[in-house]
Amino acid sequence: SAAPSPTPAMADPAEHREEEEEAAAAGEEEDTGAQIAPIVKLEEVAITTGEEDEDVLLDMKAKLYRFDKDGGQWKERGTGAVKLLKHKETAKVRLVMRQAKTLKICANHLVVATTKMQEHAGSDKSCVWHALDFADCELKEEMFAIRFGSVEN
């Protein structure tokens, strides 16, 4: 019986390996000329923060903690920009804090006449206060501590 004749698919493997290495060395991929159309067309969306009708009184970086009554300890709530915002019409002031990367709200409450902010006993860069907070979409009495980068802040 006769041996099967070599087909182009059964080319010399060493020769094929050299071609691949040369292509890899050149760092080029084969251009197929294929056009890839986007599957979904995204429209530009106007984003509102809810802060459009407010003036910024304070905007600085800080780390926020809340006191966990059940565990009897401070828990970190987030690091990011803390803002005091004054409403242009009602003149009400609120504290809003968003986490740096995710922009998730970690504090959102009105600053009222009864809000007493005190220096934290353990640190001169920290303050403590109580507030009815709405960050988790429900009004909840919270005890907060905030730590700034420096005593001046």
- Number of domains observed in the structure of the chain: 1
Residue 98 lies inside a defined structural domain of this protein: yes
Query: Residue 60 belongs to a domain with what CATH number?
Result: 2.30.29.30
Q: What is the pLDDT of residue 29?
A: 61
Residue 129 lies inside a defined structural domain of this protein: yes
Residue 88 lies inside a defined structural domain of this protein: yes
Which one is predicted more confidently, 45 or 146? 146
Residue 71 lies inside a defined structural domain of this protein: yes
Per-residue pLDDT reduced to its tens digit, 97-131: 999 989 898 999 988 888 888 887 777 888 898 88
Q: What is the pLDDT of residue 11?
A: 53
pTM value is: 0.62
Residue 13 lies inside a defined structural domain of this protein: no
Q: Which domain holds residue 116?
A: 54-148
Q: What is the pLDDT of residue 99?
A: 92
Residue entry with tokens 């009897």:
72
Residue 21 lies inside a defined structural domain of this protein: no
Residue 14 lies inside a defined structural domain of this protein: no
Residue 116 lies inside a defined structural domain of this protein: yes
Per-residue pLDDT reduced to its tens digit, 63-74: 999 999 888 899
Per-residue pLDDT reduced to its tens digit, 19-56: 555 555 555 566 777 777 778 888 887 777 778 888 89
